[in-house]
Amino acid sequence: MSKRRKKGKSKGLVTFLIIAVVLLLIVAVVGKKQGWIGEEDKLKVSVKDVQQQDITERVSATGKIYPEVEVKISPDVSGEIIELNVEEGDSVKKGQLLAKITPDIYNSIVNRAQASVSSSRSGVANAQAQKAQVKANYDNAMAVHGRNQKLYDKGIISLSDLEASRTQLATSQAQLDAAEQGINSAKYNVNSTEAALKEARDELKKTEIYAPMTGVISMLAVKEGERVVGTAQMQGTEMMRIADYDKMETRVEVGENDIIRVSIGDTAEIEVDAYLNQTFKGVVTKISNSADNGMSGQMTSNQVTNFTVMVRLIKSSYASITQKNSIPFRPGMSCSVDIITENSGKTISVPIQSVTTRNVNEDDEEEKDDELKEVVFVYDGGKVKMVEVETGIQDDKYIQITKGLSKNQRVVTAPYKAISRELEDDQDVAEVDEKDLYSKKSKFGKPKS
């Protein structure tokens, strides 16, 4: 019985060993295929072909919608509003009467100015009459002096009589000159009073406020019976605003790093928060020359520097929504804008994450420097080669390669940590699908067969 038990145990042990060996062989084969065995030293990377495609560079910004032309209406004169002919939202035409301010005071000023003009004109008539009288005296003095000169020449009168007539003639001449100046002064007074009358009439006209342009009353801040302050004394009361809703624009803030890429005439795609899943077209019409730093105009060390860019909405791009709403955009609506600054056309490009910066001479002690170069890692036959490249424009996913790559080459696209730090020139790697690269089943991923 003892020998039989030993023989059974020996057979069981052999069977167990055979099964264990078979299992180990199976694990080894599967592990080799799955990359669990034999690939420990190779870094797993994802690879894509270099492609030719269109790249559109965009500058994104957010802002508000406003009428391109909006005029603030403030009165030139102060007083009570006695007539208000419009309401907010009304359409008005240029020259239309909008409101009236009580004119009583200004009518009185006009009447006084008119009376002053009449009085000054009477003064001119009186001066002319006085001149006529003085002229008659002057003519008489001249005639008397002429006769006395003849009598003196004949020795009939004395020298003192002749000098007396000469003095009288000189006095009459001076009076005549004074009368002439009196007329000129009276005429100047007439001009002054007429100017005052014109000014008074202009002030009276300003009590009636007319529309300076055709548009829509976008804001009405006053009511009939309220008193307003004219701009002649101070800032003045803003009564209303007139906007031209046929020309709308977005005003967006663009950072200093992007503003150099934006030019007048660039096209734009505009999304308005009020209209979901709709994109409108626009064109850049104006770029501010100075940064928008608030009212103070002073910068702090941590303040972001932005420039205001005006983008006109192209009317044809939103013509469909005007059929239901004649004024589809209201001042102050929020929007996001993508300004298209450049398009490359068909060009060699790679995913943005494929490009990193490295010191290409860091292993060469003779040529070592601190200058960083843009590089990609080209995959070929299980190895990667670090290649220096020159880049151009980029969009959200791809970047243009202007020098260093050709079509049909393959570049490493992931993981970014490996591209930016771990990969080295002429390093052995294992290519895997990107979807398997971050698989939870394996730290190293699944190698491609």
Tell whether 382 and 430 lie within a shared domain: yes
Q: Are residues 220 and 130 in the same domain?
A: no
Contacts of 85 (CB under 8 A, 6+ apart): 96, 97, 98, 99
pLDDT at 364: 55
Q: How many domains does the chain have?
A: 4
For the entire predicted model, the pTM comes to: 0.62
Q: Do both 201 and 171 map to the same domain?
A: yes
Instruction: Please check the confidence at residue 365 and state whether its pLDDT lies above 70.
Output: no
Residues 367 and 225 in one domain: no
145 in a domain, yes or no?
A: yes
pLDDT tens for 298-348 read 555 556 788 999 999 998 888 888 888 878 888 889 999 999 988 878 888
What pLDDT, in 10s, does the model give residues 367-404? 555 678 888 888 888 888 888 888 888 877 888 888 87
What's the whole-number mean pLDDT along residues 65-70? Answer: 91
Which of 127-141, 230-244, 260-274 ranks highest by mean pLDDT?
Answer: 260-274
Q: Is residue 5 part of a domain?
A: no
CATH number (domain holding residue 228): 2.40.50.100
What is the model's pLDDT at position 442?
45
| 235 shares its domain with 381 | no
Q: For the domain that residue 160 is a member of, what is the CATH number? A: 1.10.287.1700
- 102 vs 419 pLDDT, higher one: 102
79 and 46 within one domain: no
Same domain flag for 197 and 278: no
Mean pLDDT of the chain: 82
Structural domain that includes position 171:
105-205
**7 pLDDT more than 70:** no
Last residue of a domain, one of 151, 183, 205: 205
Q: Which pLDDT belongs to residue 293? A: 62
Look at residue 228 and tell me whether its pLDDT is greater than 60: yes
The mean per-residue pLDDT over the stretch 126-136 comes to 87
Same domain, 402 and 255: no
- Same structural domain for residues 327 and 359? no
Same domain, 212 and 329: no
Residue 2 pLDDT > 70: no
pLDDT at residue 296 greater than cutoff 50: no
CATH number of the domain enclosing 314:
2.40.30.170
Q: Which residue has the higher pLDDT, 12 or 171?
A: 171
